[in-house]
Amino acid sequence: MKTPLFFLIILCSFFQSQAQTKVYKGNSTSYSDCLFTISDDKIYTGNSTSYSDCRMTISGNKVYQGNSTSYSDCLYTVSDGKIYQGNSTSYSDCLYTISNDKVYKGNSTSYSDCLLTFNDGKIYKGNSTSYSDCIMTTNGILADAVMAILAGPY
């Protein structure tokens, strides 16, 4: 998958709150740096909650393209701490593994395969929690799966 920032969106399938949550670029929480707005079961571009700006819809453990919940529009399936491509839960279709506030490539949980680290509402590159390695900040509670989807792919 070559769609930057969508990896974190997959994690939205585990989003618990019904309030709007914003995801910002880097360490910022500025209106102009808002990348995504998450409201109910939808992920929107920027600060919008317009139907036409819906990037993804979350239903159950699946993430769909746009406003759809059609089988053919399924982008990701989240199951047992893993994010799979499309409707699959096959070992070979595993894109990411989420474990201990970290996202790993494929089925791995090896230090060298760590792609993201979550800490205090921030998403960092690799195993880092350094200020300069922060790629996203959220103003609310997001499940690890959602954050991984929005930050990806890798």
Domains and CATH numbers, the chain: 6-151 (2.40.160)
Cα separations (Å) of 11 from 59, 83, 87, 131? 12, 8, 15, 23
> Stretch 27-40: mean pLDDT, rounded?
92
- Residue 129 corresponds to which tokens in the numbers above? 């929690």
Is a pLDDT exceeding 90 seen at residue 66? Answer: yes
Q: What is the pLDDT of residue 143?
A: 61
pLDDT at 26: 92
* Predicted local distance difference test score (pLDDT) of residue 132: 95
Distance, in Å, from the CA atom of 75 to the CA atom of 63, rounded to the nearest integer, reads 6
In the predicted structure, residue 4 carries a pLDDT above the cut 60? no
pTM to 2 decimal places = 0.81
Calculate what percentage of the chain has a pLDDT beyond 70: 79
Other CB atoms within 10 A of residue 111 CB: 10
